[in-house]
Amino acid sequence: MKKLNLVMIGGICALLGAVPSGAAEIKVAAAAPVSETQTHADDQSDDSESPLTAGYDKTAMNGFFIRSEDQSFRLNIGAYTQFRYDANWRDAPAGQDDFTSDFSIRRTRIFFEGNYTPEFNYHLRMQIDNEDDFSLLIAWMQYNFGESKRWNLRAGRQFVAMSREDWQFAEDTLTTEYSPNDDTFAIGSSDAVQVNFAADRQRFWAAIGNGAYGGKRTFPDNVASDIALTGRWEYQLDGTDWSVWDDLIGRRGRPRGILFGIGGGYEDKASNSVPDPTAIESGTQLNLDLSFNGNGYQAMVAGSVTWREPQMGSSFYNYGFLVQGGYFFTEKLQVYGQYNLISPGDQPGTLETFNSITAGVSYFPFVRTNRWKFSGELGYLFDAINNTLVTPSGGLGWLSSNEDGQLYARIQAQFGF
């Protein structure tokens, strides 16, 4: 992996001096180009009728920007980070301490996004992980076409639509981290071509790329498949406002809605010349989710089944289940909870089912963005993680253990511009 120069990145950001706030990095971008989703709050300066070519657009949730006078070109630049303190209590393997604690920076993301013309959008995003390695997380261009620009075609490195949680950026998740279900089953970022259509009550995506199920926590070192076909369809059972589904948080003031989603995919990899009993040759995945949104709350129930075909031996399946919800007691103070179940299904061996619960409280100092959030979180794992499908991970909060019962506590400050 080629490492970038942090000083160069900082210099570029300082030179351009334009950044977005939280809403600009929603993965589920509307079919309309960026310029069509802005409000008119930044169209004029105080002393001129000419549109601003640079400034800060607080009402449209885009933060600082640079754009052309005719408003066809727009560039947003931003960054955010997650600073954590973690403490973990477990029955550790021999030679390790039962209690572990440390400070860390989980992820820092820097992005450049906007529209080149009303028909063409772009997005470039880099990530610095907790080992200070740089990686190119996203790099795509998008063409908007059709009546009212309801269709778009996106090509490059991107997140393909399969499950609702994996379709969110880290700043817009309910908990401090993606769920164990997402970490175990989600594709993550892929090199792909993806088409999207959005109407009043339904929208869908279809993609062809090189994604591989799982391996998200080691991105970009996961082994890509030769081909992956993915798709997702969503329908609003109640409501017609797509913006309420741009995150998993559920702010106050949002209208009521119910969203049904179904997604899945197939991936295939050519067999090795030398048979490998542990290699997976192909896989198929099905995801279902149902989400509820209202004035100050959002809840989601989601399930996933993955069938795998090994290079040697019989095929098998794994499945997972997730339920979560959050509620705002005030405009800025939220409580939340999450439950995860991950089963080995009929996979050969002696693996056990993973069961965990998570609860926390978050404070959002600014009502217009999710980028600033301070959270305190507790999690309890009922099972021995080393005997489950879930890989021990400091990001998840669960560390290596062969014994049942594990507890973690986390304090996180998420901030950026």
Q: What value does the CA radius of gyration of the chain take, rounded to a whole number of Å?
A: 22
| Residue 34 main-chain phi, psi, to 5 deg | -55, -40
- Higher pLDDT: 136 or 175? It is 175
Express each pLDDT in 323-333 by its tens digit: 999 999 999 99
pLDDT over threshold 80, residue 158: yes
Residue whose token pair is 């991950």: 342
Q: Are 387 and 351 in contact (CB under 8 A)?
A: yes
Kindly state the tokens that stand for 191: 């090199």
Express each pLDDT in 193-238 by its tens digit: 999 999 999 999 999 988 765 444 333 344 667 788 999 999 999 9
Q: Which pLDDT score, from 0 to 100, does residue 134 have?
A: 85
pLDDT over threshold 70, residue 273: no
SS3 label, residue 218 = helix
Residues 348-377, buried b or exposed e (16+ Cβ, 10 A)? Answer: eeebbbbbbebebebebeeebbbbbbebeb
Q: Are 271 and 281 in contact (CB under 8 A)?
A: yes
User: What gap in Å lies between CA 16 and CA 38, rounded to an integer?
Assistant: 20
Full set of structural domains in the chain with CATH: 82-106+144-416 (2.40.160.10)
Q: Are 301 and 263 in contact (CB under 8 A)?
A: no
- Higher pLDDT: 263 or 58? It is 263
Kindly state the tokens that stand for 20: 């977005």
- Higher pLDDT: 361 or 170? It is 361
HSE (side-chain half, CA atoms, 13 Å) at 120: 6
Give the Å distances, CA to CA, from 333 to 123, 206, 234, 264, 329: 32, 37, 29, 35, 6
Q: Say what the alpha-carbon torsion angle 62, 65, 68, 71 is, to the nearest 10 degrees.
A: 10
Q: Are 170 and 20 in contact (CB under 8 A)?
A: no
HSE (side-chain half, CA atoms, 13 Å) at 260: 6
Taking alpha carbons only, the member of 83, 79, 80, 170 closest to residue 410 is 83
Taking alpha carbons only, the member of 379, 374, 372 closest to residue 361 is 374
SS3 label, residue 254 = coil
- Higher pLDDT: 370 or 49? It is 370
**What's the mean pLDDT when you consider all of the chain?**
84
Overall average pLDDT of the 18-28 stretch? 38
pLDDT over threshold 80, residue 11: no
Q: How confident is the model at residue 311 (pLDDT cuts 50, 70, 90)?
A: confident
Q: Which pLDDT score, from 0 to 100, does residue 60 have?
A: 52
User: What gap in Å lies between CA 223 and CA 210, rounded to an integer?
Assistant: 9
Strands (E) across 160-212 are located at: 189-198, 202-209
HSE (side-chain half, CA atoms, 13 Å) at 385: 24
pLDDT over threshold 50, residue 305: yes
Q: Which pLDDT score, from 0 to 100, does residue 250 have?
A: 93
Overall average pLDDT of the 337-364 stretch? 97
Kindly state the tokens that stand for 380: 């309890």
Express each pLDDT in 29-83 by its tens digit: 333 333 333 333 344 444 446 678 888 776 555 668 898 988 889 998 888 999 9
Taking alpha carbons only, the member of 67, 64, 43 closest to residue 55 is 64
SS3 label, residue 148 = helix
User: What gap in Å lies between CA 357 and CA 322, rounded to an integer?
Assistant: 10
Q: What pTM was computed for the model?
A: 0.84
pLDDT over threshold 50, residue 166: yes
Express each pLDDT in 89-147 by its tens digit: 999 999 899 999 999 999 999 989 999 998 999 999 998 888 788 888 899 999 999 87
- Higher pLDDT: 94 or 409? It is 409
Quote the percentage of the chain above a pLDDT of 90.
Answer: 60
